[in-house]
Amino acid sequence: MPSAFAIAAVIAGASPAAGAHPPPDVDAVLAELRAEVAAIRAARDAEWTDRARAEQVRAVARDVLADSAARTSFLASGAQAGYEPGRGFFVSDAGGAFSLGITGFTQQRFVANFGSDAPERTPYGVNAVWGFEVHRTQLFFAGTAVDPSITYLLGLQLDPQPDPGDMPIARTDPAEAEGGGLEINYLNVTKRLAGGWWLQAGNIFTPWDLESHLFCAANVQSGEYSVLNFLFGAGYTSGVAVGVDGDDVRWSACYGNVIGLGPNQWNSAYNQSYAFSTRLNWRLAGDWAQYADESSFRGQPFGAFLGLGARAENGRATNPAGFAWGAQYGATADLTLMFGGANLLAEFVWIQDYVQANQAAWGAWLQGGVFLTEQVEAFAGWTVVSLLGTQQYGTAGVNWYLHRDALKLTAMAMIAGGGDEANFYALYLPGMGLLDADRPNNSASMVVQLQMAF
């Protein structure tokens, strides 16, 4: 490399002595210097980059170690989290004293209704109407608190149409039974006791008819509650309940404010002198797990279940006129047969003073189904009801279980046969898929529904 003296001499214009080497090439010297400076800068930048990368790696390592420590601590405590069919997404401590599970389902459907007498289809006045709707969406939070034997349940429902739970109030005040809002259905605490006994307080699915033993609408065969459940179901009750889950018999009884109007407060409108309901399920054959669904899937054992229910309530003298329902009482009986791929349901309901004093109302329902393949089930049913008049309803359809109960597609036809049930509960027929006309006679609907549950 040229000496500093030589460079200074060249720049100063000094003349070399005789016999000395020729002056160096200034451009070459400068080029060499530039290259040296660039090399130094490159080495410096490389060192800075290596340091930055090392710091990034160390940061990632710290994050991984922290996450690993958290996971190790979670697992070391014995806590559990994950997803299980029927339990949903869950988290629980080691002993199960505190836990939370989240389940839910939604039903999306298309309904087309046709009739032959437009004047009878007031207020529409046309023979065909159709449309889409998010029919029913429910979300459930359930788990344990303080002790594994103490459980809680919170159920939220969003339904644009009145549900069977809204129907009891329709007897006296139809304007109150409206869908469309977010509602609470289940809201209770249960204490499990020895020998299968339990105590419960809060908002309870009133023990009464065949479908009251099911957890929700996702478990019904047709994807929709029966006509009997719409017209005679007892909905939810605010009160206390006691029951026992035995090997062959499951029994429960509920005492509350008013049958079917929970959740509510105590006051002159809702506080009856008494409001009592009870149901007994008797397992003749099979197992209780299969009784949780109305359909009988292939591979299940033969099952036979008998159900009996009773209810009674009496309004106080201080109740408003619209809520003074008199000494209403009733009984119901049902039989469920499951053949491991086919099923048969039969139910009869009778209630005194259900619509008006000194007049009985009754209904009968028969429905059956059979699996054509492992995933496709055909079903059909017939219902006769007598309230202010007599009416008949027929249903037939097909279920395609794309993923068992988790994903189910239903196509169902519904026909309102001849009868004289004029203008009774007309506003609530769309919940079943029928037109809310003045008379449901001579009316038929086609319902296509997709149900997703987790």
Assigned domain for 9 exists: no
Tell me: do 169 and 258 sit in the same domain.
yes
Tell me: do 300 and 350 sit in the same domain.
yes
Q: CATH code at 233? A: 2.40.160.10
**What is the chain's mean pLDDT, rounded?**
84
Tell me: do 399 and 294 sit in the same domain.
yes
Summarize the confidence of residues 58-75 as an average pLDDT. 59
The rounded distance, in Å, linking the Cα atoms of 34 and 28 is 10
The first and second tokens of residue 251, run together, are: 């029994």
Nearest Cα neighbor of 351 from 167, 205, 166 is: 167
Assigned domain for 7 exists: no
Assigned domain for 87 exists: no
Does the pLDDT at position 174 exceed 80? Answer: no
pLDDT on residue 71 = 53
Tell me: do 112 and 59 sit in the same domain.
no
Assigned domain for 83 exists: no
Tell me: do 62 and 110 sit in the same domain.
no
Of 47-56, 75-84, 155-164, the one with minimum mean pLDDT is 47-56
Tell me: do 131 and 51 sit in the same domain.
no
Tell me: do 206 and 283 sit in the same domain.
yes
pLDDT on residue 279 = 98
Nearest Cα neighbor of 380 from 370, 390, 389 is: 370
Does the pLDDT at position 335 exceed 70? Answer: yes
pLDDT on residue 439 = 65
Assigned domain for 180 exists: yes
The first and second tokens of residue 331, run together, are: 């009984």
pLDDT on residue 261 = 83
Assigned domain for 156 exists: yes
Exposure string for 95-116, b = 16+ CB within 10 A, e = fewer: eeebbbbbbbbbbebebebbbe
- pLDDT band of residue 164 (cuts 50, 70, 90) is confident
Tell me: do 122 and 58 sit in the same domain.
no
Tell me: do 118 and 42 sit in the same domain.
no
pLDDT on residue 68 = 56
pTM of the model: 0.80
Assigned domain for 241 exists: yes
**What type of residue is 275?**
A
What are the tens digits of pLDDT across the range 239-266?
A: 999 999 999 999 999 999 988 888 888 8
Please state whether 285 falls in left (phi above 0), alpha (psi between -120 and 50) or beta: beta
What are the tens digits of pLDDT across the range 99-153?
A: 999 999 999 999 999 887 777 676 777 888 899 999 999 999 999 999 999 999 9
pLDDT on residue 267 = 83
Tell me: do 285 and 234 sit in the same domain.
yes
Mean pLDDT comparison of 12-26, 40-54, 365-379, highest-scoring range = 365-379
Provide the residue count of the chain. Answer: 454
What are the tens digits of pLDDT across the range 427-452?
A: 667 888 887 766 666 788 999 999 99
pLDDT on residue 443 = 80
Report the chain's terminal Cα–Cα distance, integer Å.
Answer: 79
Assigned domain for 67 exists: yes
pLDDT on residue 43 = 64
Summarize the confidence of residues 153-165 as an average pLDDT. 89
Number of domains in the chain: 2
- pLDDT band of residue 6 (cuts 50, 70, 90) is very low
Summarize the confidence of residues 407-426 as an average pLDDT. 78
What are the tens digits of pLDDT across the range 273-331?
A: 899 999 999 999 999 999 999 999 999 999 999 999 999 998 887 776 655 556 789 99
Per-residue three-class SS string for 194-229: HHHEEEEEEEEECCCCHHHHCCCHHHCCCCCCCHHH
Range of the domain at 270: 102-453
Tell me: do 30 and 129 sit in the same domain.
no
Tell me: do 282 and 353 sit in the same domain.
yes
Higher pLDDT, 209 or 119: 209
